[in-house]
Amino acid sequence: MPDVIAGDIEQSKSLEPVFAAFERDHAGFKIGCAHFEGDEGELTTEYGGVRYIWIDNGSGEVLLELGYRTQEGDGERLPTCYEADECDDKTWSTLETFADNLSTIHEQIRPSVETILNRISDRTLSGDVAGEIRSLVATGIPPVEWATRPKVRRAFDLLLEGFSIIGWSTKLITSFEKIEAGDQLIIEPDEPLHVRGNFRYWWIEDANSFMTHLTKTRRLRYLRNITHGRESQLDEFNRLPAAWHCNTEIENNSDGVNSVNSRVANIASDHSQPHYHPAAPIGGGKPQHELYFIMNPDVFALDSRGGKGHMRAFPDLQNPSRYEEFPLKPGNVVYVPPDTGHQVNDVFLNTVALPGFKPFNTIHLEQSV
């Protein structure tokens, strides 16, 4: 079974085996960390691909121009210099059908639909709904059973076809905007980001791609907190800068547009389960690999459990009573290959998955630990 590999951003030598294993497993990808400090400068790509950036600590500002389009705003509202798209007639009719027929929708499907409907203000809807679409698909319930009424099932068909055009807002002026720990930035070739400030960050560049469906910024404060409605030992924090996009498969690529996903969460031991992602993924495509970037919970004034966060690695998937345990602290990075049993406890982290959080590809170990 592959082993987890860990390093620390402040100890460059410790990062070498992490980066080497990552680049070995992902042809055309590069990984690193860097620090920006200055009144103004550029963040650029280095290998002609799409570069994903996650701020580890510090803060700064990014220049976003007039006409910039984003799918943020389902958490805190975007500033008044943004204008949310009004839903077109087809989208609005689809949403009205759901609102008028909630009682006909399967009980396991209904919560995701309600989450989408709760974002509506007047005739606008803010934020990326790809996460909700993935939740619908990940129930494993056949779409024909999502609702009892044919018109509602048709509404689901339309939602699955057009979810990527929903939730957009447009910037009305050019100005710098704040970026801080946990925020995600994306750079495409020949489109550098102009930034200023003092911040440290992790980066991954996908030289196999020259464009992405994701927006330049995904700032945590503007993203909805996905709570589970259950008591936890830690403050709940669960936000999704980059969700899996379902139903985007193309010929010879069952993963579709997906390349990198990101989820920032405060993981409590009472909600954490040992699991792994199979090397032969269900549904085909690339197997799911993960990076854990450990963050400082103080940035969001979250309960840190006295800094007792740790990870368990399970060398034998058939015997979860045997595991190795090691502490985690802000600035650590952990690389988790497929077929590797793992569990994190009482940790605030950004989980970066490649090609992403594939539906049906999390397999839980026996609860005997």
Q: Is the pLDDT of residue 308 over 90?
A: no
CA 188 to chain centre: 18
What distances in angstroms separate CA 364 from CA 5, 276, 290, one per listed residue? 21, 7, 16
Note the pLDDT of residue 272. 86
pLDDT value, residue 232: 57
The amino acid at residue 327 is P
Q: Which two tokens stand for residue 3?
A: 């082993």
Q: Please tell me the distance from the alpha carbon of residue 169 to that of residue 215, in angstroms, as a whole number.
A: 11
**Per-residue pLDDT tens digits for 120-140:** 999 999 999 999 999 999 999
Sorted by sequence, the CB contacts under 8 Å of residue 365 that are 6+ apart come out as: 273, 274, 275, 276, 314, 317, 320, 341
**Average pLDDT score over residue span 225-251:** 82
Q: pTM of the entire structure?
A: 0.94
Q: What is the pLDDT of residue 368?
A: 36
> How confident is the model at residue 2, as a pLDDT?
67
pLDDT of residue 216: 97
Q: What would the mean pLDDT of 234-252 be, rounded to a whole number?
A: 89
Q: Render pLDDT for 6-54 as a digit per residue (tens, 0 to 9).
A: 999 999 999 999 999 999 999 999 999 999 999 999 999 999 999 999 9
- Lowest mean pLDDT: which of 19-23, 56-60, 62-66, 362-366? 362-366
**Residue 364: pLDDT over 50:** yes
pLDDT digits (tens, 9 = 90+) for 73-109: 999 999 999 999 999 999 999 999 999 999 999 999 9
